[in-house]
């Protein structure tokens, strides 16, 4: 019965994912032309013969459409979600997504967390319960603005920018709000504000741990918000691939898979732009992952602040998709033999 539930769940999850892939493909083909029958055939064969299921082909079409070629070693985003993340991260991936647990997993990380709201209670980072009557003064004692993020917030939903005037503790205690974290608001580096100054740019770095626990950074991209957004929203953000070795932007970014070569609001070009202190960002992600090498693949959201300090915003152990990186800079994980994980799962 459990296996049946598992199969039904993934049947529909793969179907939804492929719907998104085919929608992306249609957009990409509108400016890059149709994917050649040869690449479609290679994608179908690779999905069936190497990855074990033709349901993984649509994301390979997307990658082929972007790069105008087919590459052995690409990992479809839905294969990554179904076979890679559960196998390499297991339940610890879910634990890493819990903000309250992260400082315990990563004690050397300088956390942005100010407080938590968990199971109806306000809680400090040192696990002390905060009186709801005193929580406003506690939160805004050292900062004028904070960020509240619901646990498992996705695509920018469940993120709120708060100040002392619009913070109302009764919203939380009256069961109108789920568990979440209050974090310091980051004053970002001026480099990022040239593109968008109303929201904090986030650098995603994907790190992996191989079979011997060696940690490496494999892919990166940056996301900018729009002028109307107070924080990054997936449905409106601009994502630009980054050279993982240099921190230089690719000359084009993507907004819902449409190509753009400059920020649509500020009109600042992406051409020959390099993130300041990017090597420090990579080093920080690798350093943090080295503390938990038993987790195979993690997505780190970081930025550089106005004091040129790297800030770790959050770590993603479950929802750290790889589709943009694989489509633009992949294959990023070819040497890790992830394409064989589905066979190991079948044998077990």
What digits encode the pLDDT tens for the residues 270-283?
999 999 999 999 99
Confidence of residue 153 (pLDDT cuts 50, 70, 90): low
Instruction: Answer yes or no: is pLDDT of 306 > 70.
Output: yes
Alpha helix (H) ranges present in 209-268?
A: none
Q: Which fold has domain 91-104+188-317?
A: D-amino Acid Aminotransferase; Chain A, domain 1 (3.30.470)
Domain locations in the chain as residue ranges: 2-79, 91-104+188-317, 113-184
For residue range 225-244, list pLDDT tens digits in order: 999 888 898 889 999 999 99
Q: Rounded to whole angstroms, how far apart are CA atoms 345 and 348?
A: 5
Beta-strand ranges (E) seen in the chain are 113-118, 121-123, 129-130, 145-150, 159-163, 180-184, 202-209, 215-224, 238-241, 253-255, 258-260, 297-304, 310-316
Average pLDDT across the chain, whole number? 92
Question: With 60 as the cut, is the pLDDT of residue 348 above it?
Answer: no
304 alpha carbon, distance to own chain's centre: 17
- Of 102 and 112, the one with more pLDDT: 112
Least confident of 62-71, 121-130, 242-251, 323-332: 121-130
């Amino acid at each position: 019965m459990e296996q049946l539930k598992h199969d039904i769940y993934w049947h529909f999850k793969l179907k939804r994912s492929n719907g998104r892939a085919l929608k992306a493909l249609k957009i990409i083909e509108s400016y890059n032309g149709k994917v050649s029958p040869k690449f479609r055939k290679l994608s179908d064969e690779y999905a069936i013969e190497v990855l074990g299921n033709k349901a993984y082909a649509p994301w390979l079409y997307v990658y082929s459409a972007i790069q105008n070629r087919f590459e052995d070693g690409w990992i479809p985003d839905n294969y990554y979600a179904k076979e890679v993340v559960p196998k390499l991260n297991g339940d610890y991936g879910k634990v890493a997504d819990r903000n309250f647990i992260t400082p315990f997993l990563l004690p050397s990380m300088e956390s942005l967390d100010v407080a938590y709201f968990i199971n109806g209670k306000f809680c400090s980072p040192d696990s002390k319960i905060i009186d709801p009557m005193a929580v406003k003064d506690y939160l805004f004692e050292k900062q004028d603005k904070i960020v509240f993020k619901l646990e498992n917030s996705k695509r920018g939903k469940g993120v709120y920018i708060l100040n002392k005037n619009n913070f109302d503790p009764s919203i939380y205690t009256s069961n109108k709000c789920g568990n979440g974290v209050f974090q310091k608001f980051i004053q970002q580096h001026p480099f990022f504000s040239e593109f968008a100054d109303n929201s904090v740019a986030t650098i995603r770095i994907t790190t992996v741990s191989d079979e011997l626990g060696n940690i490496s950074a494999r892919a990166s991209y940056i996301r900018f918000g729009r002028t109307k957004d107070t924080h990054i929203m997936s449905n409106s953000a601009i994502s630009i691939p980054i050279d993982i070795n240099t921190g230089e932007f690719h000359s084009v970014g993507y907004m819902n898979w449409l190509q753009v070569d400059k920020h649509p609001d500020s009109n600042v070009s992406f051409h020959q732009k390099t993130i300041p202190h990017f090597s420090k960002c990579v080093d920080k992600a690798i350093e943090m992952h080295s503390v938990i090498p038993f987790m195979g693949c993690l997505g780190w959201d970081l930025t550089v602040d106005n004091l040129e300090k790297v800030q770790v915003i959050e770590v993603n152990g479950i929802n750290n998709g790889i589709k943009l990186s694989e489509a633009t800079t992949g294959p990023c994980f070819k040497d890790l033999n992830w394409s064989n994980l589905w066979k190991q799962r079948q044998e077990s």
